[in-house]
Chains A and B, each alone.
Chain A
Amino acid sequence: MSYVVEMFNIRKEFPGIVANDNISLSLKKGEIHALLGENGAGKSTLMGVLFGMYQPERGIIKVREKEVRITNPNVANQLGIGMVHQHFKLVENFTVTENIILGSEPLKGLVLDIDKAAKRIEELSKHYGLNVDPYAKIEDISVGMQQRVEIMKMLYREAEVLIFDEPTAVLTPAEIDELMKIMRNLIKEGKSIIIITHKLKEIKAVADRCTVIRRGKSIGTVNVAEASEESLAEMMVGRHVNFKVDKKESTPGDTVLKIDSVSAKNNRKVMALKDFSLEVRRGEIVGIAGVDGNGQSELVEAITGLRKVESGNILINGEDITNAPIRHRIEKGIGHIPEDRHKRGLVLDYRLDSNMVLEVYNKRPFAKNGLLNFGEIRAYAENIFKNFDVRSGEGGASLARTLSGGNQQKAIIGREIELDPDLLIAVQPTRGLDVGSIEYIHKRLIEHRDKGKAVLLVSLELDEVLKLSDRIAIINNGELVGIVQASETNENEVGLMMAGISKERSV
């Protein structure tokens, strides 16, 4: 059996934590190898070591049976190793071609030969079924397409080993199917793939083998065909995981959020939310279901004040907040788990504990007469870390940037729930979380509801919407298609409505 990559006894420390403790992993030629582990288990770190971003304290790496030292990503490229990071590294106002050749520009004499590159990209695209337009600008293409550009970047550099770090976290369900197809194509062409994902379904669907790590240590490698989703989950978390959500019947009370025929434009100044009306009451979870880009983001931003409302009214507990400043809305009881944790949710260069008081740093007891009280801030943050199992190397003193993606997400969720808002807006709350954490966060969202608060849930995962919501509002092309009781509907009906076929018409 020939291995393209072998990593033996890798150890990587960060201040306060051993991210990788004696981890081994070997990748067969032509296989898709899944890397599974809890949030903060050390998956991204291990792949960072393989891609030359981190230097391990100990351990040996072999590529095609030869021992190598991968001192930086260029060395990795030369060895035929490519990586798609969870957060893409593309230049927004460059074209696809320009992005791909960046760093290995083809020259004709002394001038850049863009056309030659574009041609080659077109060929590769056809060959692997990627469908990318070499001349499109990055800012104009979807997230799914940007990811393909990242894949193309690896192929253009003739990578043989492709690493994907949580590629599906940012994709819509349809895009995920496409990606799976592309991966199978790549394998057919003799490439080998390592994929990090928290979605066990995806592992079952594409992976041949799966290596599980927990808290920086190897647990083992299994053949996926012989494992079930349950057994994988148990291996990873170390206990039985409950995939079902237990919840009581809801008992809705007064209206907390009232959206009255609201319209709002998107960034391209096109009306993206049209005459949208919805009420969310105390003691209920209302889910928003819809295909990505149908006005969900604009709806959330209109409520939270990040976007201007063109017409209509938004009321919180009876008070009109349509044009109120954001801080006022927060004080009126709106909590918001944002869609993009790096853009909105965290100040990545702040310490983690500072991030836990991002909305309340100026309130007592965290500040008095304009002076911060760090002791109170630290204690408050510690409490959130404990409740939500947020793990980092140095606790509250760690920079938010150094946390693993899932731990960043848990910290944000903890911060927002700890504010105890009357209305909690949760957008893709479990994006990037491991199954154990998802179970816990779901429980906390339901608990919030049961405390008599309102929850507005926006998720691209229909599963999640169906499981958690009491009522489901379906949005299509910026309009409300209809509202259904979660207990009286199913995936098919909601799916049809998401395509814009309203219930009345379909019945």
Chain B
Amino acid sequence: MRNTIVSIIAILLGLIAGGLLMLAIGSNPIEGYNYLLQGALINIERIGNTLATATPLIFTGLAVAFAFRTGLFNIGAAGQMLAGGLAATAIALTFEFSRPVMLILMILGGLLAGALFALIPGILKARFNVHEVVSTIMMNWIAYWSVYYIVPGYFKGPSLETESQKLPDEYTLRAPFLSDMFDGSYINYGIFLGIIAVIIIAFIIDKTTLGFELKAVGFNRHAAEYAGMRVNRNIILSMLISGALAGLGGVALYTGNASSMQIGLLPSQGYDGIAVALLGANNPIGVFFAAILFGILYSGTGFMNAMTEIPPELANTIIAIIIYFAATSVLIHRIIDKVKRSKANRPEHKKGEA
């Protein structure tokens, strides 16, 4: 409850600051935000696109949040996405199955590849106490260069050296009925996978013995050890699940929103996942809404930029400011406290002054 309020205040402060920036460059902030919202939500197609934009962020946000609950900082979501996307793409371009079987294989493949890329930092942390921040960043580059060599080497597209072949439509997460429903938007099954993931992760964290253990390790590993929990196993397990989530994010991005992979790019959704987790207070439901918000900001900027003089970088700036306020939420907590207290004290003060 309180975290929700803090996040909302952070968002409002970010929007206000963004508005001030618009003023500073001589634009009308009300007009700017109006176009931003229109760009993201004005018709059913744009709503679909916004949801699709948010989908990978749901996964990476969940990935970061889940690891964080166990006291781990997984900043390798980008690499895990690449691994997941590459695995799914490779499966789709190599084999032939009926559509349902293929989709399930792609999803499983992406999930496993993401998990594998997080497993290595997990083991390094558990066995040799290598900090996961260092090792997950390294894994990002391993994924980056793997794509760099594997895509042109084995799955090269017909025209471009830097892109994989396009997946056949029936081997992507696209669904004609969804596109129709959303007036031709590129929304796809990914959003359903995202919602299912949110529910499953929330369930694991709150209702299961596994969640109980993972959180205990995250809060106080010494006490967890004392109580007989296997700390190292939990660290590895947590990274595994986190990586699997990010891997699914890769599947959603590269075989849902897009239908091919490019080389030489770390997906920005990886790092954005940190911000989404932060704003969502590491809570799965919170992550979901934070991801939707980011989706709105990202997909609305184009329209805002087309209709006004405001540069598209402004959306990134607003996001950065929101993150900044969310990260320094201690300050907001303090302000809430102060407001509460002055309310509680007010009647007395009057008496004192009278």
Contacts and interface: CB of A to CB of B under 8 A. Distances in A.
Interface of A: 55, 57-58, 304, 306, 325-330, 336, 338, 343-350, 354, 358-359, 361-362, 367, 370-372
Given A330-B228, A338-B226, A349 B209 contact: no
A367 B209 contact: yes
Interface string B212-234: 11011001101111111110000
A354 B213 CA distance: 11
A359 B209 CA distance: 11
A213 to B, nearest CB: 23
B96 interface: no
Contacts of A371: 207-209
Given A325-B230, A358-B227, A55 B209 contact: no
A31 to B, nearest CB: 31
B224 A372 contact: no
B210 A347 contact: no
A110 to B, nearest CB: 26
22 contacts: A58-B348, A304-B226, A325-B228, A326-B225, A326-B226, A326-B227, A338-B226, A343-B223, A344-B222, A344-B223, A344-B226, A347-B215, A347-B219, A347-B224, A349-B219, A349-B220, A358-B226, A358-B227, A361-B212, A361-B213, A362-B209, A367-B209
A367 B222 CA distance: 23
B354 interface: no
Interface of B: 207-210, 212-213, 215-216, 219-220, 222-230, 341, 344-345, 348
Contact of B223 (A328, A345, A362): A345
B225 A372 contact: no
Nearest to B224: A347
Nearest to A346: B223
Nearest to B226: A344
B334 to A, nearest CB: 10
Contacts of B224: 347
A359 B228 contact: yes
Given A367-B209, A370-B210, A57 B223 contact: no
Contacts of A326: 225-228
Task: Name the residue in B207, B213, B219, B226 with the highest tally of chain A Cβ atoms < 10 Å from its Cβ.
Answer: B226
Contacts of B341: 55
A343 B225 CA distance: 10
Contacts of B219: 347-350
Given A55-B341, A325-B230, A358 B222 contact: no
Given A57-B345, A348-B219, A367-B209, 4 more contacts: A327-B230, A347-B216, A347-B220, A358-B226
A371 B209 CA distance: 6
Contacts of B210: 370
Contacts of A338: 226
A291 B212 CA distance: 38
The 3 closest A-B pairs by CB, nearest first: A327-B228, A358-B227, A344-B226
Nearest to A358: B227
Contacts of A362: 209, 212-213
Given A55-B341, A343-B223, A348-B219, A372 B212 contact: yes
A154 to B, nearest CB: 25
A372 B207 contact: yes
Contacts of A372: 207-209, 212
B205 to A, nearest CB: 11
A217 B171 CA distance: 72
B216 A350 contact: yes
A306 B209 contact: no
Nearest to B228: A327
B206 to A, nearest CB: 9
A358 B216 contact: yes
Contacts of A325: 228, 230
B344 A57 contact: yes
Contacts of A58: 348
A336 B225 CA distance: 13
B209 A336 contact: no
A184 to B, nearest CB: 37
Nearest to A334: B228
B226 A336 contact: yes
Contact of A370 (B208, B223, B226, B227): B208
Contacts of A344: 222-223, 225-226
Contacts of B223: 343-347, 358
B228 A370 contact: no
Contact of A354 (B208, B212, B229, B348): B212
Contacts of B348: 58
A371 B229 CA distance: 17
Contacts of A55: 341
